[in-house]
């Protein structure tokens, strides 16, 4: 079988677990009051929490109606948000070194990171654990790693490979991450412009640098999610598209026919639709793309 075309108008591709539609469909385009819009985290099938450059986190529905607004305890703005298995919204605050959960409109501290380490991006796992990108400044250089929290305790740290070399590149850019159905942790390393996937023991399974997609500009990954078909989807802010891989790192296709503008944030709702947010415009496009085989 010949490799799939990088075009978004490829014919149906059958994988071992599902098939991709040859045409994606934009279900909704949602304007928001956040410019820039930093993140989106779906809750259920038709709502999402969003945040930007202020202290609030806002829950909107697919029609753009504001359903709830929470004022965080952050000095400036949250550094990352995610939604727990129970539907609660959590956010990180690097200034206080905490990950907090909102209950009944008020913030409670869930996690306090070790001294010197600051939390940034967050991702909740299917088991109820929390993945936290934490960083520490050492000799004017940021060291990055992922801490896997079970409750308030660190269950695992993902930072070095089997040879003892850093898995993630040092630097001031964040790590986005998502747990796949097989327990892999899929990471978008912004400093390295690479997707890195590690198994549940922390061993690197593969890296993806965007080359198979044959895009015009260099690969610039941002947010990353995994879906019910174990596909890995990552935004590419320079090429205005989404890259879709299977769980073993094989490139399947790019989604570039939805009018995406500097796609940055990404989340998947319970209906399997992607909520893709534009960094500059503050708009969110809700995209239907997979078809269960």
pLDDT digits (tens, 9 = 90+) for 182-213: 999 999 999 999 999 999 888 999 999 999 99
pLDDT, tens digit (0-9, with 9 covering 90-100), for 263-283 = 999 999 999 999 999 988 889
CA 86, 91, 92, 98 torsion-angle sign: negative
d(CA 246, CA 225): 12
Pairing of strands 98-103, 89-93: antiparallel
| Structure-block tokens of residue 2 | 């010949």
pTM for this model (two decimals): 0.89
Give domain limits for the chain.
Answer: 13-291
**Confidence band of 36 (pLDDT split at 50, 70, 90):** confident
**To 5 degrees, how large is the angle CA 125–CA 131–CA 133?**
155
CATH fold of the domain at 13-291: Neuraminidase (2.120.10)
Beta bridge partners of 42: 48
Q: Is the pLDDT of residue 119 over 50?
A: yes
Q: Is the pLDDT of residue 67 over 60?
A: yes
């Amino acid at each position: 079988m010949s490799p799939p075309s990088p075009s978004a108008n490829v014919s149906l591709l059958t994988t071992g677990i599902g098939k991709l539609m040859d045409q994606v469909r934009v279900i909704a385009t949602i304007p928001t009051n956040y410019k820039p819009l930093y993140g989106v985290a779906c809750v259920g099938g038709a709502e999402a929490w969003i945040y930007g450059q202020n202290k609030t986190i806002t829950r909107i529905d697919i029609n753009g109606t504001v359903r709830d607004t929470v004022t965080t305890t952050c000095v400036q703005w949250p550094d990352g948000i995610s939604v727990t298995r129970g539907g609660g919204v959590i956010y990180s605050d690097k200034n206080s070194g905490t990950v907090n959960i909102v209950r009944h409109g008020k913030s409670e501290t869930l996690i306090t990171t070790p001294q010197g380490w600051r939390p940034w991006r967050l991702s909740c796992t299917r088991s109820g654990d929390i993945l936290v990108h934490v960083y520490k400044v050492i000799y004017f250089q940021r060291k990055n790693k992922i801490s896997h929290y079970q409750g308030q305790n660190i269950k695992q740290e993902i930072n070095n490979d089997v040879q003892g070399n850093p898995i993630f590149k040092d630097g001031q850019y964040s790590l986005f991450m998502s747990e796949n159905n097989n327990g892999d942790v899929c990471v978008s390393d912004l400093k390295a412009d690479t997707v890195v996937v590690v198994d549940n023991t922390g061993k690197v399974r593969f890296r993806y640098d965007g080359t198979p997609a044959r895009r015009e500009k260099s690969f610039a990954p941002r947010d990353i999610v995994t879906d019910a078909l174990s596909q890995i989807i990552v935004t590419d802010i320079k090429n205005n598209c989404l890259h879709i891989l299977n769980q073993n790192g094989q490139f399947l296709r790019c989604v570039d026919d939805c009018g995406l503008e500097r796609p940055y944030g990404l989340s998947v709702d319970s209906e399997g639709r992607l909520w893709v947010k534009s960094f500059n415009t503050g708009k969110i496009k809700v995209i239907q793309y997979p078809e269960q085989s």
